[in-house]
Amino acid sequence: MNPSQQPICDIILNVKLDYFRNSDKMQKELFARTIAGITEESETISLFNTSSWKRSEVVRLPLDISKNYTSVIDAETGKTVLSQRLSTGELAFWAENVKALGTKKYRLSTKPAGKQTVPAIKDYILDNGIVQVKISPETGDVVSLVYEGEEFVDGKSMCALNSYRYLHGNDEGSRATRAYDVGIRVKENGPLINSLLVESKAEGCNRLTREVSVIAGQSYVSFHNILDKIATTDKEGVHFGFAFDLEQPVIHADLPWGIMEIEKDQLAVGNRNWLAFQRWLNLSDKEKNVTWCALNACTFEVGEMSANILGGAFRSPEWIRKIKPSATIYSWALNNHWHTNFALSQEGTIRFDYRVQPAKGAYNAAEANRFGMEQIRPMIAVPVEQQYEYSPNMKLTGDESVVVSMIKTIDEGQSQIVRLRSVSDKEQEVSLTWNTKIPRRISLCKSGEEPDKEQVTDGKIVVPAMGFTTVRLEW
């Protein structure tokens, strides 16, 4: 916002902030209403999987739910599952094979978790037997990520992985400053989660912390960055760099209505200095690929820090005309480059989370999309009464490139809207089947949510390549 224009500056800012405040309030109220009929103080936990495929992942129970317990038991088998009390007070446990659109019950216990193997952390290295991560004690950056014997960090790039960069105004990227006075210590060390905490000074911050963690049996690496941001009206930008070791890389970006291959699918006059995406990027060559997720920063740059143009910059030579192939990306986490759409200054505790999943083989859109959705939509743990049972009614079968992206109940519970999304480059036929209650009418929606005359009688639905199909269920 323009500091010289008051009070209109603050009035406009608060109107824009209210969109975020109100949406946060509404989603919390909606969630509370959703679980009001089933939740109660209990040692029984029902874990809800809102995805249309079977999932396994780490679940973190807050201290207020788990403080009186020491272990977690699979309610169906009676076996103790892998768990760990974290330094945050949370109780983390491994949830295995939770049914698509279904639930799985666990029971909190006061019994000891039993003997569990805890890997040693030394020499600034995390190693779970699947991925090995090495952090530089000088910079705090991840300088090595090895998966199945292959190095995934480009040692020749201007950055490594999770490299903090602070850029003044319209300075060139080569002048960006880095973290300094770095200290590294073990934060989590247990049978399930292991992490190193990088604490440092950094320009633009009172303090910068970067936590790097790996999970037992999993191939992805998590980055949890917290900035204690200093308020300033000077033009600035904060970037986190990720440089991957790939030959002639191709980048695919997940978008709200499709997938874009960087440069190839862009309009000739489209902006190339910075780009936006929805849930994930995939960087690939013919031999290996990386899926990269930024959970709370939706803009990025390719190859260099190029989002440093001030003002309109009409016909400026600084505008990139063509993106050169590069496996280095920068998350453009925050900035104060413009008068519009942003607060006058940005300050306080600000969090940025990233996930990196290395893999062998070429780009696989279905795998990248599922991984990205899982990071954005974790499974939901709810304390319930012991007798509570839930069985999913609807099941999606067919090619894994098609997923349920939305289920919405309307008409006071008499109808539902189900939206199917495909990331396949070919038309796909999938099936919706029912375990108990069968809809009296299933219709396709050609536009919006109104039913078309065309009905689905056999449960088979065709989803166009890289497209969506909306289905209306009437009960």
Name the residue range of residue 106's domain.
Answer: 39-116+379-384
Q: Do 414 and 322 belong together in one domain?
A: no
Please check whether residue 369 lies inside any domain of the structure.
no
List the CATH number of the domain containing 93: 2.60.40.1180
For a pLDDT cut of 70, what percent of the chain falls above it? 98
Please check whether residue 22 lies inside any domain of the structure.
no
- Lowest-confidence region among 1-5, 115-119, 394-398: 1-5
List the CATH number of the domain containing 151: 2.70.98.30
Mean pLDDT of 306-320: 81
pLDDT of 400: 98
Q: Do 130 and 89 belong together in one domain?
A: no
Domain boundary among 320, 353, 384: 384
Q: For the range 132-141, what are the long-range contacts, defined as Cβ-Cβ under 8 Å and sequence gap of 24 or more?
A: 133/212, 133/214, 133/221, 135/184, 135/196, 135/198, 135/212, 136/160, 137/182, 137/184, 138/182, 139/163, 139/178, 139/179, 139/182, 140/164, 140/179, 140/182, 140/184, 140/198, 140/200, 140/210
Q: Do 49 and 159 belong together in one domain?
A: no
pLDDT of 341: 58
Please check whether residue 283 lies inside any domain of the structure.
yes
pLDDT of 3: 64
Whether the CB-CB separation of 158 and 174 falls below 8 Å is answered with yes
Residue 37 banded pLDDT, cuts 50, 70, 90: confident
Q: What 3-state DSSP class applies to 372?
A: helix
d(C-alpha 125, C-alpha 142), whole Å:
10
d(C-alpha 165, C-alpha 175), whole Å:
9
d(C-alpha 128, C-alpha 215), whole Å:
7
Residue 313 banded pLDDT, cuts 50, 70, 90: confident
Q: What is the pTM of this model?
A: 0.94
Q: Do 281 and 409 belong together in one domain?
A: no
Mean pLDDT of 14-29: 92
Largest CA distance in the chain: 69
What are 63-93's pLDDT values in tens digits? Answer: 999 999 999 999 999 999 999 999 999 999 9
Q: Do 144 and 110 belong together in one domain?
A: no
Q: Do 294 and 236 belong together in one domain?
A: yes
Please check whether residue 232 lies inside any domain of the structure.
yes
State the CB neighbour count (10 A cutoff) for residue 242. Answer: 29
Residue 447 banded pLDDT, cuts 50, 70, 90: confident
DSSP element (H, E) containing 405: strand 402-410
Highest mean pLDDT among 5-14, 33-42, 416-425 belongs to 416-425
Residue 324 banded pLDDT, cuts 50, 70, 90: very high
d(C-alpha 357, C-alpha 150), whole Å:
13
pLDDT of 116: 81
Domain count for the chain, please give it: 3
Secondary structure, 3-state, 20-88: HHHHHHHHHHHHHHHHCCCEEEEEEEEEECCCCCCEEEEEEECHHHHCCCCEEEECCCCCECCEEECCC
Q: Do 301 and 336 belong together in one domain?
A: yes
Type of residue numbered 50: T
Q: Do 227 and 354 belong together in one domain?
A: yes
The residue count of the chain comes to: 475
Tokens of 317: 């030579």
Please check whether residue 8 lies inside any domain of the structure.
no
Please check whether residue 1 lies inside any domain of the structure.
no
In sequence order, what are the beta bridge partners of 196? 186, 212
pLDDT at 255 over 90: yes
